[in-house]
């Protein structure tokens, strides 16, 4: 196991050297950040920290592990970044605004990544895991974390190049941005 703190991206080259060829990269790490709306006093440090982990983190990790994905043993590298239904532009809700914005920005990053990686035959998608019982989701959430994780692994194993650039639910169904 190799540990990585996304606050310190300087360790990424060493990670790439340590993990070897990769078929599947799942960018799962995320933080919820402060529960404030757009009227709260601006706190640039906490806002930027949420973006650092949730948006820049998956981009930087994927960039660093690109050589590993290009060497995918199956010849088909796949990148799945865990986004959120809170990114959905159909919601007008404003709580946790940094989190919502960071995941919407992550979706845009993943869409662009899909465009850039398509010629390399590497697929990139955003995944909405649903509301999951974890430290972040809390005990009242709808879904069991193990079942959602299995669903995402199954999705990763079944993914095709035709799905690249999409926003998918954990069961593989396409959803609105």
Ligand X SMILES: NC(=O)c1ccc[n+]([C@@H]2O[C@H](COP(=O)([O-])OP(=O)(O)OC[C@H]3O[C@@H](n4cnc5c(N)ncnc54)[C@H](OP(=O)(O)O)[C@@H]3O)[C@@H](O)[C@H]2O)c1
Nearest CB to ligand X, comparing residues 110 and 132: 132
Please state, in angstroms and rounded to a whole number, the distance separating the CA atoms of residues 54 and 77: 21
Instruction: Give the CA distances from residue 31 to residues 113, 136, 157, 159, in Å, rounded to whole numbers and listed in that order.
Output: 22, 8, 26, 26
Please state, in angstroms and rounded to a whole number, the distance separating the CA atoms of residues 49 and 27: 17
Span interacting with ligand X, options 11-19, 26-34, 39-47, 149-157, rule CB under 6 A: 26-34
Question: What is the footprint of ligand X within residues 34-73 (CB under 6 A)?
Answer: 53
Handedness of CA 119, 123, 124, 126 (dihedral sign): positive
Interface with ligand X (CB under 6 A), residue total: 19
Query: Does 129 interact with ligand X (rule: CB under 6 A)?
Result: yes
CA atoms within 13 A on the CB side of 159: 34
DSSP letter assigned to residue 134:
S
Q: At its nearest, how many Å lie between ligand X and the CB of residue 15?
A: 11
Identified binder of ligand X from the candidate list 11, 16, 134, 163, rule CB under 6 A: 134
Identified binder of ligand X from the candidate list 9, 12, 15, 29, rule CB under 6 A: 29
Instruction: Give me the residues that bind ligand X (CB under 6 A), please.
Output: 4-7, 28-31, 53, 82, 84, 129, 131-132, 134-137, 141
């Amino acid at each position: 196991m190799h540990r990585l703190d996304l606050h310190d991206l300087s360790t990424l080259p060493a990670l790439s050297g340590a993990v070897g060829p990769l078929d599947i990269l799942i960018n799962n790490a995320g933080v919820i950040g402060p529960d404030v709306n757009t009227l709260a006093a601006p706190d640039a440090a906490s806002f930027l920290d949420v973006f650092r982990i949730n948006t820049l983190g998956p981009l930087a990790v994927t960039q660093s592990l690109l050589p590993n994905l290009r060497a995918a043993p199956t010849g088909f590298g796949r990148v799945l970044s865990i986004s959120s239904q809170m990114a959905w532009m159909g919601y007008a809700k404003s709580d946790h605004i940094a989190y919502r914005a960071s995941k919407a920005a992550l979706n845009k990053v993943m869409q662009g990544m899909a465009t850039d990686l398509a010629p390399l035959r590497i697929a990139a998608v955003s995944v909405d895991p649903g509301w999951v019982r974890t430290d972040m989701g809390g005990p009242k959430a709808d879904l069991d974390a193990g079942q959602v994780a299995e669903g995402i692994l199954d999705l990763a194993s079944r993914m095709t190049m035709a799905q690249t650039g999409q926003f998918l639910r954990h069961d593989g169904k396409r959803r609105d941005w």
